[in-house]
């Protein structure tokens, strides 16, 4: 392949998951690219080969709609759609609408498969359809052992993308801030000649300048951190990471001898963490017994700590961590099938609750259920599925995803039923929203098919949506139920803390911070009949559907990200200290700035709840 295709290679290299490939692999994959130009207003659906190729948007924007003509996603530069990128079963009837003139790089399906076979990173990202393919694909992990991807062997020099952004010590705070925003960096190095004097980060500007009301025209030396630790350009990446974790910093200046060579940020290391999740997932599929699965899943807390140290957004951390549970579940189902034989009727293993929403953090309880085909006959097949459920749920429990205290698991017979019974369940909950039903809806209205027959799941979901959409009486009950979790904010903008007991003087980040937003998003989604399950996705889709204003959705998204981020940091802190991770945070653990920010966040939630309760007259 021609090395002159640099422009295209560089583009690929700067976008996930291609950034995971080595230069050589990238070069060799360039030949598979076809370039296409799509005019604004063009429709591409499966008849036009939407699902026959993988599309990577070079410039422009494309919207994806489902067959109800609901907007699923708005994609922009660097986003992918088509074969395997729109793999999720609910998006099979997807249609792309080009909303800006768009240049796409297109990989034909067989090329994608071939690439994925060669590069497990691609394979992980372009998660495959169904368990069968997953198993095949996962076996490739490790066979190749792309060594240069490993944190253990990557050098810092491989990670540094740009020359350092520097300022002389004579610069003022304002000049420095201007430079940082122009260069779009979160930190800047202060250098005298080529020698490092200090470092200034966004956080410094916030905490040492804005929060203290410092004069912007003071020299930058007033606020810079001087005794900074540095890494050498020839160090291994993992050393840098260790250093960051140890010092709890997110920016590490890199030097080459005496000279400043660049800046390594936690984000630069991020992709390597997603890689470690990839390896975890890959490992999971190689295990053949519960004990070894247990061993692997014991590393989940470390994964969380790493993600937190790398400043990963809470949203992506949730996705990464959930992918581990998903893999565990799938593997357990495979193992169960090896033991019990092929299933007598089709089934779908559904994750509920936070696993379905891809919002798990530290280990949590398992919420799941089993949806069986209508040909299920309890007398003939009951035994098989009971054993299957028992095996998987026990396995999950052994791996630290403890039994659900509300028994919302597939081992409970009630939650292991054929489609027709599930339909009746949902009809009943929606028609008779008793308190118990409302509690169940909070778990079972967030469903995702982890493994098995997606068509089953799809018809259940369709039923549920048809029942809910526009049913204001039911939605009002949901809204009323959502009001039972209020942000811990008192009348005078004070934190309302738990008094007494084990968690004295704390507030519950999950139930009073995250759950209210999750509940709001669920109601918006049900009102509009949207498929999305992840809360961030739901809010985005709801704003597009007009259920909530763009501004309101954005506020809620930011709030959710902020609160979830605090939670991950909090849990990571606990895990590092060797404690059990929980959701109870003391306001004293927060800086003044964070406290204020959190109060703002909570009052956003409160406003949105008030609007909802006003609308539904509760």
Partner 1 sequence: MDLQTLTYIVVGATFSLYIGIAIWARAGTTGEFYAAGRGVHPVANGMATAADWMSAASFISMAGLIAFKGYDASLFLMGWTGGYVLLAMLLAPYLRKFGKFTVPEFIGDRYYSKVARMVAVLCLIVASITYVIGQMKGIGVAFSRFLELDYATGLYVGMAIVFFYAVLGGMKGITYTQIAQYCVLIFAYTVPAVFISMNLTGNPLPQLGLFSATADGTPLLVKLDQTIMDLGFAQYTAQKGGTLNMVFYTFSLMIGTAGLPHVIIRFFTVPKVKDARSSAGWALVFIAILYTTAPAVGSMARLNLTNTIQTGPVGEVSANLEYEKRPQWFKNWEKTGLLKYEDKNGDGRIQYYNDKNPEFAKKAESYGWKGNEMTKVDRDIMVLANPEIAKLPNWVIALVAAGGLAAALSTAAGLLLAISTAISHDLMKSMFTPNISEKGELMAARVAMAGAIAVAGYLGLHPPGFAAQTVALAFGLAASSIFPALMMGIFNKRINNTGAVTGMLVGLGSTLLYIFTYKGWFFIPGTNMLPNTTANHLFGIAPEAFGAIGAMLNFASATIVSKLTAPPPEHIQHLVEDIRIPKGAGAATDH
Partner 2 sequence: MTIWQHLFSIEERRNWWMRKMPPSPLRDYYEVPFPDVESDWRQVDYLALDYETTGLDEHKDEILSIGYTTINGSCMRLADATHMLTRPRCVIPGESAVVHGIMDDVASSAETLEEVLPHLLRALAGKAMLAHYATIEYHFLSNACKRIYGFPFVGRVVDTLALEVRVFRSQEKPIQQGDLRLANTRNRYGLPRYRAHNALIDAIAAGELFLAQVANRQEKRTILKDLAVVS
Task: Please tell me the distance from the alpha carbon of residue 465 to that of residue 529, in angstroms, as a whole number.
Answer: 6
From residue 102 to residue 141, the character string flagging contacts with partner 2 as x (rule: CB under 8 A) and all else as - is xx--x-----------------------------------
- Of the candidate residues 16, 195, 428, 493, the single one contacting partner 1 (CB under 8 A): 428
* 28 near partner 2 (CB under 8 A): no
- Of the candidate residues 147, 210, 211, 618, the single one contacting partner 1 (CB under 8 A): 618
* 450 near partner 1 (CB under 8 A): no
- Of the candidate residues 22, 27, 28, 42, the single one contacting partner 2 (CB under 8 A): 42
* 615 near partner 1 (CB under 8 A): yes
501: left (phi over 0), alpha (psi -120 to 50) or beta: left
- Per DSSP, 20 falls in state G
* Residues binding partner 2: number (CB under 8 A): 28
- Per DSSP, 493 falls in state S
* 607 near partner 1 (CB under 8 A): yes
Task: Please tell me the distance from the alpha carbon of residue 51 to that of residue 43, in angstroms, as a whole number.
Answer: 13
* 614 near partner 1 (CB under 8 A): yes
* 298 near partner 1 (CB under 8 A): no
Beta bridge partners, 498, equal: 506
Q: How far is the CB of 374 from partner 1 (least distance, A)?
A: 17
237: buried, middle or exposed (CB in 10 Å: 19+, 13-18, 0-12)?
A: buried
* 79 near partner 2 (CB under 8 A): no
* 477 near partner 1 (CB under 8 A): yes
* 4 near partner 2 (CB under 8 A): yes
* 101 near partner 2 (CB under 8 A): yes
- Of the candidate residues 405, 500, 501, 578, the single one contacting partner 1 (CB under 8 A): 405
φ, ψ at 3 (rounded to 5°): -70, -15
With respect to partner 2, which residue has the nearer C-beta, 99 or 590?
A: 99
C-alpha distances in angstroms, 295 versus 276, 284, 326, 367, 397?
15, 10, 16, 22, 13
With respect to partner 1, which residue has the nearer C-beta, 174 or 511?
A: 511
For 330-397, give the DSSP string.
Answer: HHHHHHHHHHH-S-SS-EEEEEEHHHHTT---S-----EEEEE-TT--HHHHHHHHHHHHHHHHHHHH
Q: CA 122, 123, 126 angle in degrees (round to 5)?
A: 80
Beta bridge partners, 236, equal: 155
Taking CB under 8 A as the binding criterion, the range among 100-108, 241-249, 387-395, 436-444 that sits at the site for partner 2 is 100-108
Task: Please tell me the distance from the alpha carbon of residue 470 to that of residue 475, in angstroms, as a whole number.
Answer: 8
* 47 near partner 2 (CB under 8 A): no
C-alpha distances in angstroms, 356 versus 50, 87, 464, 566?
27, 17, 16, 21
Q: How far is the CB of 609 from partner 1 (least distance, A)?
A: 10
Q: What residues have CB less than 8 Å from 607, skipping those under 6 apart? A: none
* 465 near partner 1 (CB under 8 A): no
**Which of the listed partners (partner 1, partner 2, none) does 52 bind, with a CB threshold of 5 to 8 Å by partner kind?**
none
Q: Which residues bind partner 1 (CB under 8 A)?
A: 404-406, 424, 427-428, 431-440, 470-474, 476-477, 480, 484-486, 511-512, 546, 548-549, 551-552, 607-608, 610-611, 613-615, 617-618
Q: Which residues bind partner 2 (CB under 8 A)?
A: 1-8, 11, 30-39, 42, 58-60, 100-103, 106
């Amino acid at each position: 392949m021609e090395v002159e295709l640099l422009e295209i290679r560089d583009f690929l290299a700067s976008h996930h998951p291609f950034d995971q490939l080595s230069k050589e692999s990238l070069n060799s994959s360039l030949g598979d690219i076809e370039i296409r130009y799509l005019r604004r207003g063009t429709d591409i659906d499966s008849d036009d080969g939407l699902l026959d190729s993988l599309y990577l948007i070079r410039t422009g924007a494309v919207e994806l709609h489902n067959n109800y003509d609901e907007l699923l996603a708005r994609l922009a530069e660097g986003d992918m759609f088509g074969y395997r990128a729109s793999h999720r079963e609910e998006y099979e009837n997807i249609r792309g609408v080009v909303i800006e003139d768009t240049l796409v790089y297109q990989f034909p399906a067989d090329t994608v498969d071939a690439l994925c076979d060669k590069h497990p990173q691609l394979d992980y990202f372009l998660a495959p359809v169904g368990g069968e393919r997953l198993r095949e694909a996962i076996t490739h992990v490790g066979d190749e052992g792309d060594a240069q991807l490993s944190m253990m062997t990557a050098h810092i020099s491989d990670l540094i993308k740009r020359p350092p952004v520097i300022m002389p010590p004579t610069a003022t705070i304002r000049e420095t801030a201007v430079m940082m925003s122009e260069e779009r960096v979160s930190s800047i190095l202060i250098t005298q000649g080529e020698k490092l004097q200090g470092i200034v980060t966004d956080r410094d500007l916030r905490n040492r300048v804005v929060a203290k009301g410092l004069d912007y025209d003071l020299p930058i030396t007033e606020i810079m951190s001087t005794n900074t630790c540095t890494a050498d350009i020839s160090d291994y990446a993992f050393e840098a990471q260790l250093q960051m974790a140890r010092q709890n910093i997110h920016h590490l200046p890199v030097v080459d001898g005496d000279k400043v060579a660049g800046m390594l940020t936690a984000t630069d290391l991020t992709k390597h963490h997603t890689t470690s999740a990839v390896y975890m997932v890959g490992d999971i599929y190689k295990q053949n017994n519960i004990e070894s699965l247990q061993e692997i899943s014991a590393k989940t807390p470390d994964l969380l700590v790493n993600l937190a140290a790398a400043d990963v957004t809470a949203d992506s951390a949730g996705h990464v961590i959930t992918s581990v549970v998903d893999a565990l579940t799938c593997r357990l189902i495979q193992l169960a099938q090896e033991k019990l034989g092929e299933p007598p009727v089709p089934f779908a293993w559904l994750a509920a609750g936070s696993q379905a929403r891809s919002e798990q953090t530290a280990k949590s309880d398992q919420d799941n259920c089993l949806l069986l085909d209508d040909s299920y006959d309890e007398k003939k097949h009951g035994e098989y599925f009971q054993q299957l459920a028992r095996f998987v749920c026990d396995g999950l429990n052994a791996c630290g995803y403890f039994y659900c205290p509300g028994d919302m698991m597939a081992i409970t017979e009630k939650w292991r039923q054929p489609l027709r019974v599930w339909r009746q369940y949902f009809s009943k909950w929606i028609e008779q929203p008793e308190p118990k039903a409302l509690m169940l809806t909070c778990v079972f209205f967030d469903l995702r098919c982890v493994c098995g027959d997606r068509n089953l799941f799809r018809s259940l979901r369709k039923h549920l949506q048809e029942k809910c959409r526009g049913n204001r009486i039911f939605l009002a009950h949901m809204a009323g139920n959502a009001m039972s979790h209020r942000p811990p904010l008192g009348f005078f903008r004070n934190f309302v803390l738990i008094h007494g007991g084990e968690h004295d003087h704390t507030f519950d980040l999950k139930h009073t911070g995250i759950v209210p937003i999750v509940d709001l998003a669920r109601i918006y989604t049900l009102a509009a009949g949207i498929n999305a399950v992840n809360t961030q996705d739901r809010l985005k889709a709801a704003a597009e559907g007009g259920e909530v204003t763009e501004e309101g959705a954005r506020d809620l998204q930011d709030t959710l990200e902020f609160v979830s981020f605090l939670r991950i940091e909090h849990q990571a802190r606990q895990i590092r200290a060797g404690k059990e991770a929980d959701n109870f945070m003391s306001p004293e653990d927060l800086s003044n700035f964070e406290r204020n920010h959190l109060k703002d966040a909570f009052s956003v939630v409160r406003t949105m709840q008030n609007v909802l309760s006003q609308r539904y007259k509760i």
